[in-house]
Amino acid sequence: MINNKYVCAIIAAAGMGKRMKRLVNKQFLEIDGAPILSHTIKKIEESKYIDYILIIIKQSDIHYVGDIISKYGISLPFKIVYGGKERQDSIYNGLMNLPKDTQVVLTHDGARPFVSVEKIDKAIESVFETGACTLANPVKDTIKVSYNSNTVEYTPKREELWAVQTPQVFLKDVILKAYKQAFEENYYGTDDCSLVEKTGRKVKLILNDYKNIKITTPEDLILAKALVEDD
């Protein structure tokens, strides 16, 4: 808990992982001898503020998650929830299964096992400033905007661009309002913060390190191995 408020973490692990080009979903591939998802759960468990964990998975992956729980255990109370067609549908399923006492909601990608516990706690501590916050990094590369995927339309100012990551943390009422509005108006966002932004609320950026990668492609597995060896 934080400030006597109950904190629930939603771990999104229901993705298809098509870009990984593996038969097994990316969250269940191994790094350092254990499934990616097990590393992610461990980081979430180590936060001093989180009281409860919701793990969102594809129904067909229940045996993989069962094996993780059996082998590695989960020290916090938890629930497994099945995902929907898109990530937004999956998170919504999670929101509909929050413990009734929940007042702070954290969402995190199951394929981001290198997030630091310090940054998880920092994000939770920061949510009370605006009601919504996210870990993020300034982009390193110059970004080009193309409308046709063939030619450059314009170049935005690099100093104004941030790469947004997870965890993202919200007061429960803030994220529930955002999701309700999104489904009423029939739009999908690229992340939870984009839905909150649509309601007019400001999202606080929390400077993160560059190790918090999302393991999505085969190349990411090579980088993940290097990050493990560097720890």
Q: What is the CATH number of the domain that holds 157?
A: 3.90.550.10
- Residue 1 located in a structural domain: no
DSSP 169-195: EEEHHHHHHHHHHHHHTT---SSHHHH
Over the stretch 137-148, which tens digit does the pLDDT of each residue have? 999 999 999 999
- Residue 187 located in a structural domain: yes
Q: What domain count does the chain have?
A: 1
Strand-strand pairing, 78-82 and 52-57 = parallel
Domain that holds residue 217: 6-230
pLDDT band at 17 (very low <50, low <70, confident <90, very high): low
Considering the entire predicted model, what is its pTM?
A: 0.93
Buried b (16+ CB within 10 A) or exposed e, 89-102: ebbbbbbebbeeeb
Over the stretch 95-136, which tens digit does the pLDDT of each residue have? 999 999 999 999 999 999 999 999 999 999 999 999 999 999
